[in-house]
Amino acid sequence: MSIAIIVHGGAGNIPDEEIDLYIAGCRAALAAGWSLLQSGASALDACEAAVRIMEDDPIFDAGTGSVLTSLGTVELDAAVMDGRTLRYGSVANLRHVRNPISLARRVLEGPATFLAGAGAEEFATRHGLERCENSALIVPREYALWQRRRAQPQTAALDHGHDTVGAIAIDAAGNLVAANSTGGTFFKLPGRIGDTPLVGCGLYADARVGGAVCTGWGEAITRLALARRAVELLERGMEPQAAADLAIHTLANSANDGQGGCIILSPDGRIGFARNTPYMAYAACVEGSDPIWGC
Ligand code: ASP
Which residues are annotated as catalytic?
164
Give 145 Cα–ligand 1 centroid separation in angstroms. 17
- DSSP assignment of 242-280: HHHHHHHHHHHHSTT---EEEEEE-TTS-EEEEESSSEE
Cα–Cα distance between 212 and 162 in angstroms, integer? 17
Decide if 52 is inside a domain: yes
Predicted confidence (pLDDT) at residue 168 exceeds the cutoff of 60: yes
Q: What is the mean pLDDT of residues 31-53?
A: 98
Give the amino acid at 153: P
271 and 265 Cβ atoms separated by less than 8 Å? yes
Give percent of the chain with pLDDT exceeding 70.
97
Domain assignment of residue 93, yes or no: yes
| Cα dihedral across residues 240, 242, 245, 246: positive or negative | negative
Q: How far is the CA of 68 from the centre of ligand 1 (A)?
A: 13
Residue type, 26: C
What is the position in ligand 1's atom list of the atom closest to the CA of 188?
9
Q: What is the per-residue pLDDT for 156? A: 54
Distance in Å from the first CA to the final CA of the chain: 29
Of 227-236, 250-259, 268-277, where does mean pLDDT reach its minimum? Answer: 250-259
Domain extent for 79 = 4-289
Q: Residues 5-10: what's their mean pLDDT?
A: 97
Is residue 130 a part of any domain in this protein? yes
Confidence category of residue 154, pLDDT binned at 50, 70, 90: low
What is the C-alpha to C-alpha distance for residues 288 and 254, in angstroms, rounded to an integer?
38
Is the CB of residue 153 less than 8 Å from the CB of residue 123?
no
Protein residue with least CA distance to atom 8, ligand 1 = 162
Q: Domains in the chain: how many in total?
A: 1
What is the pLDDT of the chain when averaged over all its residues?
95
pLDDT of residue 281: 97
Contacts of 184 (CB under 8 A, 6+ apart): 61, 66, 67, 69, 75, 76, 77, 192, 193, 194, 196, 218
158 confidence band (pLDDT: 50, 70, 90): very low
CATH number of the domain to which 18 belongs: 3.60.20.30
Within 6 A (CB) of ligand 1 lie: 10, 61, 162-164, 182, 184-185, 194-196, 215-216, 218
- pLDDT at site 153: 67
Condensed to tens digits (0 to 9), the pLDDT of residues 112-122 reads 999 999 999 99
Helices and strands, counts by H and E, the chain: 8, 12
pLDDT in tens, 58-88: 999 999 999 999 999 999 999 999 999 999 9
Beta carbons of 251 and 224 less than 8 angstroms apart: yes
Q: What is the mean pLDDT of residues 18-33?
A: 97
- Find the 38 Cα to ligand 1 centroid distance in Å: 30
How many whole angstroms from its chain centre is CA 240?
18
Q: Is residue 151 part of a domain?
A: yes
* The ligand 1 atom nearest the CA atom of 218: 4
pLDDT over threshold 60, residue 1: yes
CA angle 277, 23, 271 (to 5 degrees): 70
Decide the pairing of beta strands 176-182 and 203-206.
Answer: unpaired
- What pLDDT is stored for residue 256 in this prediction? 77
Tens of pLDDT, residue by residue over 92-113, are: 999 999 999 999 999 999 999 9
The mean per-residue pLDDT over the stretch 31-57 comes to: 98
Has residue 294 been placed in a domain? no
Residue at 56 is within a domain: yes
Is 295 inside a domain boundary?
Answer: no
231-253 mean pLDDT: 98
Q: Is residue 20 part of a domain?
A: yes
Question: Model confidence at 163, in pLDDT bands (50, 70, 90)?
Answer: confident
Averaged over 35-46, what is the pLDDT?
A: 98
